[in-house]
Amino acid sequence: MMDYPKTEHGFYHLLADGWRRKDQMPFPEDRLETWAYEMEQLAEDAKQRINLTRTWKRPGMSCDGLGAFHACFGEALSPTVSRNVTLECEV
C-alpha cells in the first residue's frame, strides 16, 4: 500500500519531435518550451492534481509556431478520469 498524500515534481520539455521529461539540468538544448510539473494525490481514491506551468520559451518562437507544435503533440499531460490538469504560463 502506498503512503498518501503523494507528491512529485519535475519538468517536461517540448521538442520538435514531441514531449520529453527531464528533471535535471542540463535541459535539452533543442527544446521549444519547458514546463514545470507538480503532482499531488491526497488519497488512493482521489484524483491526481497536476499543475503544469510554462517557465521557459525559446526566444523568438512565435505563439503561432508553438501553437502548431501543441496542435500536433497536445500538452505534456492530458486530463483523464483519474487526473485533473491545470495549465499556467509564467512566460
What's the average model confidence in pLDDT over 52-75? 95
Judge whether residue 1 has pLDDT over 70: no
Task: Decide if 6 is inside a domain.
Answer: no
Task: Decide if 26 is inside a domain.
Answer: yes
Looking up cell 538544448 gives 29
Task: Decide if 63 is inside a domain.
Answer: yes
Task: Decide if 69 is inside a domain.
Answer: yes
Residue pair 8/41 in contact (Cβ under 8 Å)? The answer is no
Domain tally for the chain? 1
Name the amino acid, one letter, at 48: Q
Reported confidence tier of residue 90, pLDDT bands at 50, 70, 90: confident
Look at the chain and count its residues.
Answer: 91
CA distance 17 to 19: 7
Residue 29 sits in which domain range?
Answer: 12-33+57-91
Which one, of 13, 12, 52, 55, lies nearest residue 30 by Cα? 13
